[in-house]
Structure 1
Amino acid sequence: MNDNHIDLLVYNIGTLLTLQGTNQARKGQEMSELGAISGGAIAIQDERIFAIGQEADVRAQIQGMKIVQSLDAREQLVTPGLVDPHTHLVHGGSREHELSLKLKGATYMEILAQGGGILSTVRATRAASEQDLYDKARRSLDVMLQYGVTTAEAKSGYGLTLEDELKQLRVTQKLHHEHPVDLVSTFMGAHMVPEEYKGRSEAYIQLIINEMLPAVKKLGLAEFCDVFCEHGVFAVDESERILTAAKALGFGLKIHADEIEPMGGAALAGKLGCISAEHLLAASDEGLKAMQQAGVIAVCLPATSFNLRLKKHARARTMIDMELPVALSTDYNPGSSPTESIQLVMTLACLNLGMTPEEVLTAVTINAAHAIGKADEIGSLEVGKLADIVIYNANNLAYLPYHFGINHVNTVIKRGKIVVSDGIKV
Structure 2
Amino acid sequence: MSFDHVWLNAHLATMRDGTLGLVEDGAIAAKDGLIAYAGPRTSLPDHDAPTTDCGGAWILPGLIDCHTHMVFGGNRAGEFEARLAGASYEEIARQGGGILSTMRATRMASEEALVAAALPRLDGLLREGVTTVEVKSGYGLELGAELRQLRAARALGKARRVSVATSLLAAHATPPEYAGRRSEYAKHVAEVIVPAAAAQGLADAVDAFCENIAFTPEETAMVFEAAQGLGLPVKLHADQLSDGGGAALAARFGALSADHLERSNAKAIAAMAQAGTVAVLLPGATLTLRESQFPDIAAMRRCGCRMALSTDMNPGSSPALSLLLMLNLGCTLFRLTVAEALLGVTKHAASALGFKDRGELAEGMRCDLALYAVSRPAELCYWLGGNPCIGRVVAGAAA
TM-score by length of 1: 0.91
Structure 1 position 62 matched with structure 2 position 81: no
Seq. identity, %: 39
SS at match of 1:385: coil
Q: Which moved more, 1:115-124 or 1:289-298?
A: 289-298
CA RMSD in angstroms, aligned pairs only = 1.3
* CA-CA distance at 1:271 after TM superposition: 1.2
Partner residue in 2 for 1:49? 35
Q: Find 1:118's aligned residue among 69, 90, 99.
A: 99
Partner residue in 2 for 1:34? 20
Contact 1:76 1:396 in 2 (8 A): no
Q: Which amino acid aligns with 1:7?
A: D
Partner residue in 1 for 2:15? 19
Partner residue in 1 for 2:390? 410
Unaligned runs of 5+ in 2: none
- Counterpart CA distance in 2 for 1:62 and 1:254 is 45
* CA-CA distance at 1:396 after TM superposition: 0.2
* CA-CA distance at 1:277 after TM superposition: 0.3
* CA-CA distance at 1:216 after TM superposition: 0.7
- Counterpart CA distance in 2 for 1:325 and 1:403 is 24
- Show CA shifts across 1:310-341 (max 9, x none): 11222223312321111111101111111121
* CA-CA distance at 1:293 after TM superposition: 1.9
- Counterpart CA distance in 1 for 2:353 and 2:110 is 28
Contact 1:393 1:409 in 2 (8 A): yes
- Counterpart CA distance in 2 for 1:224 and 1:19 is 25
- Counterpart CA distance in 2 for 1:84 and 1:125 is 22
Contact 2:278 2:308 in 1 (8 A): yes
Where do 1:59-138 residues align within 5 Å?
61-63=45-47, 65=48, 67-68=49-50, 70-138=51-119
Contact 1:300 1:316 in 2 (8 A): no
- Counterpart CA distance in 1 for 2:195 and 2:340 is 39
Partner residue in 2 for 1:364? 345
SS at match of 1:234: coil
Partner residue in 2 for 1:399? 379
SS at match of 1:228: strand
Partner residue in 2 for 1:329? 310
* CA-CA distance at 1:76 after TM superposition: 2.2
- Show CA shifts across 1:78-119 (max 9, x none): 111111111112111111111211111111111111111111
Where do 1:20-419 residues align within 5 Å?
20-21=16-17, 30=18, 33-58=19-44, 61-63=45-47, 65=48, 67-68=49-50, 70-374=51-355, 376-419=356-399
* CA-CA distance at 1:148 after TM superposition: 1.3
- Counterpart CA distance in 1 for 2:283 and 2:297 is 10
Structure 1 stretches of 4+ moved >4 Å: none
Structure 1 position 9 matched with structure 2 position 6: yes
SS at match of 1:75: strand
Contact 2:71 2:118 in 1 (8 A): yes
- Show CA shifts across 1:121-140 (max 9, x none): 10010001110001111221
- Show CA shifts across 1:169-214 (max 9, x none): 1111122233211011111100000012111112212211111111
